[in-house]
Amino acid sequence: MRLTSLLFLLFLIPSALFALSPKRNYSRTPHDLHMTYEKLSIPSTNNMQLHAWYFPSDLGDQLMIISHDGVGNMGDYLERVRILVNYGFSVVIYDYRGFGQSSDFNIDKYQYIYKEFYDDFDAVYNYCEARFHHELIAYGWGIGAGISLVRGYQKDDIAGIIADEPFVDFTKLKTQFSKINAIMTLPAGIENSSYNALNMVKNQPGEKLRGILYLHGSKNFLYSTDDMELLLASTTLEFTELYQFDVASRMDNFTVNESEYARQIYAFVLNL
Paired sense of beta strands 211-217 and 158-164, if any: parallel
CB contact at 8 A, 210 and 160 = yes
With CA atoms as reference, report the closest residue to 151 among 135, 173, 172, 166. 166
H helices within 27-169, ranges in order?
A: 78-86, 115-131, 143-152
CB contact at 8 A, 75 and 95 = no
For the beta carbon of residue 57, count every other beta carbon within 10 angstroms.
19
Q: Which residues are 139's β-sheet partners? A: 66, 162
pLDDT at 12 over 60: no
**pLDDT recorded at residue 219:** 87
Local structure of 164: helix, strand or coil: strand
| Per-residue pLDDT tens over the stretch 38-94 | 999 999 999 999 999 999 998 889 999 999 999 999 999 999 999 999 999 999 999
Mean pLDDT of 162-190: 92
